[in-house]
Amino acid sequence: MSPKVEAPTRIYRWDLDKTYLKTDFDTLRQLVRTAMQKAEDKKAVPGAAALIRELRADGRSRLCIVSGSPTQMRAVLAEKLKLDGVEFDELVLKDNLKNLVRGRFKALRGQVGYKLPVLLESRARAPADSEEVLFGDDAEADAFIYSLYADMVSRRVDEKVVRQVLEAAEVYPDDIDRVLTRWASIPAADPVRRIFINLDRLSPPASFAKYGPRVVPIFNYFQAALVLMGDKHLTAPQVVRVMVEMVQTAGYNLLTFSNSLQDLLRRGLPVTEVTQALLEALSGPQAMVQLVRPVPDIITAFTKRVAALGAAPPPPAAREVDYLGLLDDARPRNHKARRRPE
């Protein structure tokens, strides 16, 4: 008899370009160069692979990847993830060749009509009580799409608003029907705990306040690891392992980590209570910690950063998201440029 496989308690959903992979595609030359890269030539965002491995370590989670990269790159992307020691459960890529053949040119750049139905269909296959954490970036519409997805599953947004959003985002009618049909089949739940947005374009974190505290902009994956430690997804030693990878692969140092911690504290994120446990892990007997030496200096710097802020500010207040007022966030970047006021 085959061993019983436990249902996942947590689902981690990741984008690839600019979220997991350091990708440039703003110009045609960059797009061609990216498409021609071999798996070993592609570079992961520092700490991303280590963070995924630690989140998956308990064997009770799923990794679901939804990317706008073309389906023709599946073999290369799967090989890159394998090289990084990242195992995935789902890898969905965008079939832009099919869009071209069908003359669906608006779908080539549109993300709402692509990602939203894929997320809903994946949720329909998930255990009703599973939690979710989503990872995206500030290059396109991830904060908007992920927030809308979360509020659709929890029924915080009604069908009229969803339909208006999809029409404004120039989603094709059959994809609108696909979204609404799949949405209706999903049991109401409130699974999305965090939405992390990697600030690849260095967008101001305050610009995401309109999405409420569930959306957490991050400058690096050490910040994501700290918040997830506060949320009980990671332990202190696991966060240290993420730090070690960032030191080894990208030259992160004492100042960067300290500044990243202070940034989260200033924003009122729940990391104050995990700081002491992290300091203890850094000063423990584990050999890997020696890679982020000098440890006493790290502990001193972290302690000073926390003390300098005094009492932590209150966390951001929950808020209802005005999706109709944020429609510009749902449009492709080239559309936004055309709509920008003179």
Q: What pLDDT digit, counting tens, does each position of 20-29 carry? A: 999 865 554 5
pLDDT, mean over the chain = 85
Rounded-to-integer distance, Cα 231 and Cα 270, Å: 8
H or E element, residue 115:
helix 112-124
What integer pLDDT is reported at residue 80 of this predicted model?
96
Residue with tokens 């030359």: 29
- Contact by Cβ (8 Å): 160, 220: no
CATH of domain 10-216: 3.40.50.1000
251: number of Cβ within 10 Å: 9
pLDDT category, 255, cuts 50, 70, 90?
confident
Strand ranges of the sheet holding 61-70, from the earlier edge strand across to the other edge: 90-94, 61-70, 10-14, 131-137, 192-198, 215-218
The CATH 3.40.50.1000 portion of the chain extends over: 10-216
- Give the number of residues written for the chain: 342
What is residue 93's three-state secondary structure? strand
pTM: 0.89
- pLDDT digit string, tens, across residues 290-331: 555 555 666 666 667 666 666 667 777 788 999 999 999 887
- pLDDT digit string, tens, across residues 227-254: 999 999 999 999 989 998 998 899 888 7
Rounded-to-integer distance, Cα 136 and Cα 263, Å: 20
Rounded-to-integer distance, Cα 174 and Cα 1, Å: 44
Phi/psi of residue 5, nearest 5 degrees? -95, 120
- Contact by Cβ (8 Å): 99, 107: yes
- Rg for the chain, CA atoms, rounded: 20
Nearest CA to 136 out of 280, 290, 15, 8 is that of 15
